[in-house]
Structure 1
Amino acid sequence: MREMLSTRKQVVETKTARLSYALGIVNGLERDVKEGKRREEERRREELRRAQNASKKDKPYHQDGDSDNDGCDEEGIAHCQTTKKTDEICNSVITNEEANSNAIASDVLKSEKIKVRSSRKLKTIALNRNAYDKGVIDSKEIDLNQQAIK
């Protein structure tokens, strides 16, 4: 009987360690992505600030690799404004389609007499801190820009 209890305890501890390690990897990757987004946003703001300073001095600002063509010609400002209007129209169409699909889904559920209930609540796992920390450390070794797993 004791062997069975100790085996069950080992299984639970192993499962907890694996889940904690996976959570550590996920959270580590999420931190890396957020940090990358923050750096990219900071870089973009710095470039915008430089461009604004250059425009105040009446000098064109060009970074290496930038082109003068930003999708709008000099007289085509009206074209840019119309693309903004079409974007707004597209967004409203998408919103209407989502609302219609939700209405259709609820109608189908009612017609088929299907009742949707919330799922049962999962038990919280006890976090294995050592495995979690190892997952966070190991997540730093993962290359987020990798095209495929080899």
Structure 2
Amino acid sequence: MINYEYTDFRMDNDGITFDGVMDGGVLISIPFADDTPKAIKNILYAMIRWNIDEWLRDNANNGYILEPGHLMLNARMQITYDSSGTSPSYCIVMVITDFTEVKNQQEIWIDDTYNIQVETPELRMEFKKYCQQKLNEVLFPIDKN
């Protein structure tokens, strides 16, 4: 089992995004960054490790070795709010893809979603506080004048 960190990959994280969802809701997507709390990063690292190991088991006969420097990682914390009054949902989403096209090579697409609601109340609160901090930085910046 190889231990990967998000910094081992080429990153595809372009900042906070807001997308509309059905019924007037919104999906808020926050990229992983250096200041993401360690406990949240550890969940991402476990997701990466498990999914890459699974991919390697499923593709053992193709002879391809996954090298993080040749793979693109999009890792985000997501909040989905539905205007129907249901509670927001919180998750970590990651997608690993290859970004080079090599002839006769299998395309790599590894994705996973982890529901934060299954975690301890402390970790859920840390996740929410971090996401709130990042949203405040974007939506309500403090004037330095």
Range class of TM-score, shorter chain = under 0.3
Greater share of residues in helix: 1
Larger radius of gyration: 1
Please report the TM-score for the alignment, with normalisation by the length of structure 2: 0.22
Q: 1 or 2, which has the higher strand percentage? A: 2
